[in-house]
Amino acid sequence: MQPSSFSSFSAKNFCRRIHYHRNQIQPIERPCDVFINHRGSDTKRTISGLLYDHLLRLGLNPFLDSKNMKPGDRLFDKINTAIRHCEVGVAVFSPHYCESYFCLHELALLMESRKKVVPIFYDVKPSQLQVRDDGTCSNKDLQRFKWALEEAKYTVGITFDSLHGDWSEFLTTTTDAVIKNLIEEDH
């Protein structure tokens, strides 16, 4: 095997073990392993969608709203439940991320639930991310959002430049980080 920070052999074995264990339980709706928090208009058809598909192929159960929700689902009920039951969160920060109440709500809930969060800075620097008061949020929500964003900005993450970055390397690096965090949460 080629040396790396985390071997793909270990990742595959871990994913097989999770898949086997979860299939033994047979729940009606299996809780997600990884919640992908993202700005849909910025990342759904690129980085978030690719990450979802990659994690799914490894036998994990990721949550991406456009893939896991169907017409008639109550938005906050489904998303809040997925966040509370996930093992790890991935926050995909993009240029317009902070303009979305839903993105900030999900991030705040991930942080308040003390989930491990892997930040991805997609075409944006952490210093560029700021919660702005546009008059649509309560003061309480603004404080929650600002706190959660600061927590995420000061968490070691992954940066990716969509114009110059290596997509394959990004998927491998991100998947390795997610699986390492899942293993830590499993112990």
Helix axes 8-25 and 167-186, enclosed angle (nearest 10)? 50
* pLDDT value of position 88: 97
* pLDDT value of position 73: 81
Is residue 106 part of the annotated active site? The answer reads: yes
* pLDDT value of position 3: 43
Please give the single-letter amino acid code of residue 22.
Answer: R
Per-residue pLDDT tens over the stretch 47-78: 999 999 999 999 999 999 888 888 888 888 89
* pLDDT value of position 10: 61
Q: Is the dihedral of CA 122, 124, 128, 134 positive or negative?
A: negative
Residue 58 contacts residue 11 (beta carbons within 8 Å): yes
175 closest CA partner among 94, 59, 82: 59
Q: Residue 122's beta-bridge partner residues?
A: 160
* pLDDT value of position 26: 44
* Per annotation, catalytic residue among 87, 99, 106, 184: 106
Q: What averages of pLDDT result for each successive group of 10 residues across the chain (187 residues)?
A: 50 60 53 94 90 95 89 88 96 96 96 97 96 90 96 96 96 95 86
Residue 158 contacts residue 177 (beta carbons within 8 Å): yes
90 closest CA partner among 63, 112, 60, 127: 63
Q: Beta-strand (E) ranges in 22-138?
A: 34-38, 62-63, 88-93, 116-122
